[in-house]
């Protein structure tokens, strides 16, 4: 059959969660041995490499705003594939194709203050359309399935949980000869610098651990998000000796992020809500001790390999950091458990399950 894929998120130059998922799942599907033809739709040519082959075709459809609802819809209505796969939320309202969509989270329902008025309305609209029009829905965790059914009960009968994977060639423990990007041990956070990621709790915990450990740094890697000004103001008001040990390299390109993950002492992830938590999985794959929130999907990703804490008590987080920093045996045990836990996840497995959902939707 001919499978159309919305690759608009996958071709972005700078990718965060949903964009990384789109990039990885599309590449993994194209790498499967298959007799299907794939048409990839995007508003511009990809910045990164994708698998090629006689059964793979790109259709570049230039347009800026509301690309899915107008440009993609027009193309698939004029030249319809047998089925359409949308890896990130937004199903074209005017399309009548059999469709499979991935819905990553329902954060806009729980944290409306973290979105602009337009974003809230559009997220609510697009998610409602996606649930109503899709033949099959994919979510990355049981937690997201629970949220989806809570707000959209009709989704229950057509939704499957398919966990994300990670690139096993890239995300792995460091070569002992590679240099660290920091001169001192460091606690690493990777994600948007925004309010719903709870970065301010991490700053409070770092202030506490800094009173005990004078030679540990904090690295906040990621793009600025909603409410980052308040976070920057908090950093600005910290004592100079603590402020001087907080580093913000901004968005970390793929290989830089891997290097930071491989050489960190701890990954700290105090997020208030995650549909999956891909950066946590990638940290586990690098053999990094993880301290993260005990909410939403994160216990599913970490299993017994991380220290899980409520995202509300800086003292508990500082205490966990202290235990790892001061107990080499615990750090070693957590590194071993992290690598073992990560082995439960695979992009190939995710792609195989996703392709089954796609073919099921087309044949229904």
Of the pLDDT bands very low, low, confident and very high (cuts 50, 70, 90), residue 226 is confident
Of the pLDDT bands very low, low, confident and very high (cuts 50, 70, 90), residue 113 is confident
Q: Where are the domains of the chain?
A: 2-165+347-363, 186-342
Of the pLDDT bands very low, low, confident and very high (cuts 50, 70, 90), residue 141 is very high
* Distance set, CA 307 to CA 139, 159, 320, 348, 352 (Å): 25, 30, 7, 28, 31
Q: Does domain 2-165+347-363 have CATH number 3.40.50.2000?
A: yes
Minimal CA–CA distance to 297: which of 88, 102, 104? 104
Which of 26-40, 103-117, 181-195, 226-240 has the least mean pLDDT? Answer: 103-117
Average pLDDT (264-274) is 96
Q: Do domains 2-165+347-363 and 186-342 have the same CATH topology?
A: yes
Query: What's the CA gap between 100 and 163, in Å, rounded?
Result: 16
pTM: 0.93
Say how many C-beta atoms besides its own lie within 10 A of residue 1's C-beta.
Answer: 15
- Return phi, psi of residue 289, to 5°: -60, 130
Of the pLDDT bands very low, low, confident and very high (cuts 50, 70, 90), residue 47 is confident
Average pLDDT of the chain, as a whole number: 93
Which of 28-32, 170-174, 351-355 has the least mean pLDDT? Answer: 170-174
pLDDT at 16 over 80: no
Sheet of strand 136-139: strand arrangement = 56-60, 37-42, 2-6, 83-86, 99-102, 136-139, 159-161
pLDDT at 364 over 80: no
**What pLDDT does 257 receive?**
92
**What pLDDT does 283 receive?**
97
pLDDT at 126 over 90: no
pLDDT at 176 over 80: no
Query: What's the CA gap between 307 and 289, in Å, rounded?
Result: 8
Average pLDDT (57-75) is 90
Q: Would strands 246-250 and 266-269 be described as parallel, antiparallel, or unpaired?
A: unpaired
**What pLDDT does 327 receive?**
95
Report CA torsion sign: 42, 46, 47, 48.
Answer: positive
**What pLDDT does 14 receive?**
74
CATH code of the region 186-342: 3.40.50.2000
pLDDT digits (tens, 9 = 90+) for 67-110: 888 999 999 999 999 999 999 888 998 888 999 999 999 999 99
């Amino acid at each position: 059959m001919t499978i159309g894929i919305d690759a608009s998120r996958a071709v972005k130059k700078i990718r965060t969660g949903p964009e990384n998922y789109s990039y990885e799942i599309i590449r993994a599907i194209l790498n499967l041995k298959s007799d299907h033809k794939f048409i990839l739709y995007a508003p511009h040519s990809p910045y990164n490499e994708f698998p090629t082959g006689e059964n793979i075709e790109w259709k570049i459809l230039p347009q800026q705003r509301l690309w899915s609802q107008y440009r993609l819809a027009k193309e698939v209505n004029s030249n319809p594939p047998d089925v359409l796969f949308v890896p990130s939320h937004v199903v074209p309202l005017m399309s009548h194709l059999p469709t499979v969509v991935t819905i990553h989270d329902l954060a806009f329902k729980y944290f409306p203050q973290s979105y602009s008025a337009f974003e809230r309305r559009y997220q609510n609209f697009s998610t409602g359309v996606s649930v109503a029009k899709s033949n099959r829905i994919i979510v990355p965790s049981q937690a997201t399935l629970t949220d989806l059914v809570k707000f959209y009960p009709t989704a229950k009968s057509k939704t499957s949980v398919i966990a994300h994977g990670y690139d096993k060639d890239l995300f792995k423990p460091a070569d002992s000869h590679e240099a660290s990007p920091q001169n001192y041990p460091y606690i690493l956070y990777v994600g948007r610098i925004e309010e719903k990621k709870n970065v301010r709790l991490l700053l409070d915990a770092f202030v506490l651990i800094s009173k005990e450990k004078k030679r540990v740094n904090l690295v906040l890697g990621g793009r600025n998000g909603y409410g980052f000004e308040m976070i920057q103001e908090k950093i600005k008001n910290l004592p100079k000796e603590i402020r001087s040990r907080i580093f913000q390299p901004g968005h970390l390109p793929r290989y830089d992020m891997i290097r930071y993950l491989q050489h960190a002492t701890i990954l700290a992830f105090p997020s208030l809500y995650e549909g999956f938590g891909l950066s946590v999985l990638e940290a586990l794959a690098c053999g990094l001790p993880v301290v993260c929130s005990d909410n939403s999907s994160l216990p599913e990703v970490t299993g017994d390999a991380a220290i899980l804490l409520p995202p509300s008590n800086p003292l508990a987080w500082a205490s966990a950091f202290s235990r790892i920093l001061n107990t080499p045996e615990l750090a070693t045990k957590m590194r071993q458990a992290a690598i073992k836990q990560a082995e439960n996840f695979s992009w190939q497995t995710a792609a195989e399950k996703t392709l089954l959902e796609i073919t099921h939707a087309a044949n229904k």
